[in-house]
Amino acid sequence: MNVVMKFGGSSVATIEKIQNVADIIIRKKKEASNIVVVVSAMGKTTNELISLSKQISKRPDTRELDQLMSTGEMVSASLLSMALIEKGHDAISMTGNKAGFRTKGIHTKSKIEDVKTKNLDQALSEGKVVVVAGFQGINERGDITTFGRGGSDTSAVALAAKLGFDCEIYTDVEGIYSVDPRRYKEAKKLDVLSFDEVMEMAHLGAKVIEPRSVELAKKYNVKVYIALNTADKKGTLITDGGNVLEKNVINNISVIEDVLLVSFNAHKKKLSDIFLKLAQRNINVDVISQSEETISFTSTNENEDIIAELFEEENISYNFRRDLSKVSVIGNAMRSQPGVAASVFKIFSENEIEFYQVSTSEISISYIIDKDKVDDVIRILAQEFNL
Ligand code: ASP
Ligand code: MG
């Protein structure tokens, strides 16, 4: 087998951890003929680099910021490669540029256009383990760009897609769970999930893997295996829906916190103007609903002041409901099995749990509820749906 192994910041946070990662890679060499490793920056390095730049400018020049941030991954890549060499294994580290990542789009949020794997192929053919600095590439001007926070997952998936390798992402959790185990101790680790479910989870609050990387994995049908960075426990495989068992209607409950529910009165004709003004103020609006002349939408607590200011400027009467959370149930089988919403509604009413808004997608249903009810709701739903 051939594999891309990705190790995140917490897995390479110290020299000792880098040594452990080197040992895991060496063990992998017994079964894999070609190994490419992608690393993130050590621990909180990226945050530290950003905060250095903020001491110089409130809004640092983004080209320079990319130049700065990209160094984090270069440090961990070269240290890991050194560790492998020191342990007697042939290895070479590469910057995103040397590994062939060509990007387009704006600095700090660039997209991967292509990966020119010539240097990689050469090094692999010489039997080397190639350690690639994640999160970075170069644009058409030859400037370094980065892919947005958490972007080294995307580096790994892009390489796996391009090289036709398996993709393994090692992290500080044992895989993906039915509910965040920090919230619900009895949560189960899931053996397999579909791309769509994981994307939905990532957008609905689960902090498992960067959503763009799953999108890419889906596009190129790259199976992604998520596992603990000690590599000694079974993780979760993300694959297409086809071979995912549909025995569970619901596979996951995800939560987004700090939800603000905004209601206001306005004539229909004014709506587009209001939402445009919200957008111009960079207010992300989530679930929108309307009845008569009352419009409601959800946003996040941190936007409260800006929204209030806008409505006051516009002379619109409004109302905020604070301290809410969005709880979502997610499952591929919802596509074909009706009645999930009905059974959740029933559970809510039996347990006298109030919800303020509901929204659905093909494979999820989300409820806006009071923050202090979240743990109860999770426990009840998890028991009901055997999660
Ligand atoms: N080091 C980058 C970040 O912290 C990229 C990554 O971790 O994937 O966002
Ligand atoms: Mg990371």
Could you report the per-residue pLDDT of 87-120, keeping only the tens digit for each? 999 999 999 999 999 999 999 999 999 999 999 9
Query: Exposed, middle or buried, 3 (CB in 10 Å: 0-12/13-18/19+)?
Result: buried
Check if 9 has its Cβ closer than 6 Å to any atom of ligand 1: yes
> Given a cut of 80, is residue 63 above it in pLDDT?
yes
Which residue is associated with the tokens 């997209």? Answer: 111
> Given a cut of 70, is residue 148 above it in pLDDT?
yes
At 209 the pLDDT is: 85
Ligand 1: centre distance to CA 212 (Å):
13
**Ligand that lies nearest to the alpha carbon of residue 171, given by its number in the listed order:** 2
The listed range with the strongest mean pLDDT (38-52, 292-306, 323-337) is 38-52
> Given a cut of 70, is residue 243 above it in pLDDT?
no
What's the rounded Cα separation, in Å, for the pair 212 and 20? Answer: 28
The closest residue, in CA terms, to atom 8 on ligand 1 is 150
Which residue is associated with the tokens 């009645």? Answer: 339
The closest residue, in CA terms, to atom 6 on ligand 1 is 150
Work out the pLDDT band at 135, boundaries 50, 70, 90: very high
Nearest atom (ligand 1) to Cα of 9: 7
Ligand 2: centre distance to CA 379 (Å):
29
Nearest atom (ligand 1) to Cα of 210: 8
Check if 46 has its Cβ closer than 6 Å to any atom of ligand 1: yes
